Chains A and B, each alone.
Chain A
Amino acid sequence: MNHDEALRALVAGGPLSDEAGRHVAACSRCREEAASLRAIEAALREAVPEPAPAEWQEALVLRLGARQLRGSERRVWTAPWWRPALASAALAAGLALAWMGFLPFQRRSGTASAAFGFSPPPASPASTAREASLLDPSLEDSTASLLQWSEASAAELGQPQSGDLGYYLAATESGGWNG
């Protein structure tokens, strides 16, 4: 066995063959070199690079579990009870926007009814006064205008108004807001 073979066996660790053992016992150069290589090995074990930031591991967990996470998100957003609720909310919002935009246009121009192909019912004195008040420039807030218009309409139709206790009681007793 030559020097390199014995040295390789020494560095690899584990039991030495009889032949390698005899060589190492007789060769001081071999022992010295094996010691220096083992020192490098020990230094390498100490020279472990810095670990990655914790965020990297978290991102990795998310990526590996992405199927599950996306699945749960999908379950939340496509659960059956959400669909009608979302559709109702969208419809209500759309109707409210259309109504808010349509009324001033109808009152100002008077051409909306013609454009949509129907005739408005004759205006009552109360509604005329109400419309006049809506055009009052002192009412800057359109929300306030709408509220005022709504209250006036309710009064005209003989329904309780939202400020009345009777309005609430009538609604709850009858099981609906319209009595």
Chain B
Amino acid sequence: MREDQERWLEALKARQEDAIRRLVGEFGEPLRRYCAAMVRSPADGEDLAQEALVRFVGALDTFRGEASVKTYLFRIAHNLALNHLASSAVMHEELPGEICEGPSPGASPLHAAQSREEGHRLREALARLPPQQRAVVALRTWQDLSFKEIGAVMGLAEGTAKAHYFFALRNLRRQLEPGDEP
């Protein structure tokens, strides 16, 4: 663990305001975004992100620095999000898993996806993915985590994380194709 990080974590344990502001500034919004995407509710995402940070700060004594703070935090958030999904009915609204039929090459939906409206449509499509795929996509595209880190967050092998990502992109493309409006 770097010396700077050690000092920061010590300051966090002492609940020093600067250290807390750094934690919230660096990870608050990414965690909120991730949790909101996972549970498909901005309000619940805020609550879960907050809970993840509270738990992290509360468990600092057990944090040994084997994983990065980012990975550790997202793992907490991921588990909280899965628990939330398991305890609510939203699990049952998912699309079928990673089953994708034959590839359908062609980039026709993609030009429109650049616009804001399409961005919204894309997020809606993301929300309809199964949780594992949603998680991998959100961690890869919005948090820029490597597949190894994603595997650590989700408790998966790196190869499995890559497979989830591949099938997620294919599912998204199918949803965004013209004439395949949800």
Contacts and interface: CB of A to CB of B under 8 A. Distances in A.
Contact of A49 (B17, B33, B166): B33
B115 to A, nearest CB: 9
A37 B166 CA distance: 8
B50 A60 contact: yes
B32 A56 contact: yes
Interface residues of B, number: 48
Main secondary structure of the interface of B (DSSP, over half): helix
Interface of A: 3, 7-8, 11-12, 29, 32-33, 35-37, 39-41, 43-49, 51-52, 56-57, 60-61, 63-65, 67-68
Interface of B: 15-17, 20-21, 23-25, 28-29, 32-33, 36-37, 42, 46, 49-50, 53-54, 57, 103, 105-107, 110, 113-114, 118-120, 122-123, 126, 137, 140-142, 147, 162-163, 165-166, 169-170, 172-173, 176
17 contacts: A8-B162, A11-B166, A32-B107, A33-B105, A35-B107, A37-B169, A37-B170, A39-B110, A40-B173, A56-B28, A57-B24, A60-B49, A61-B21, A64-B24, A64-B57, A67-B15, A68-B16
A153 B111 CA distance: 96
A47 B21 contact: no
B54 A64 contact: yes
B169 A41 contact: yes
B122 A8 contact: no
A39 B122 CA distance: 12
Contacts of A52: 28-29, 32, 42, 46
Most buried by B among A46, A51, A57, A64: A64
A65 B17 contact: yes
Contact of B29 (A36, A39, A47, A51): A51
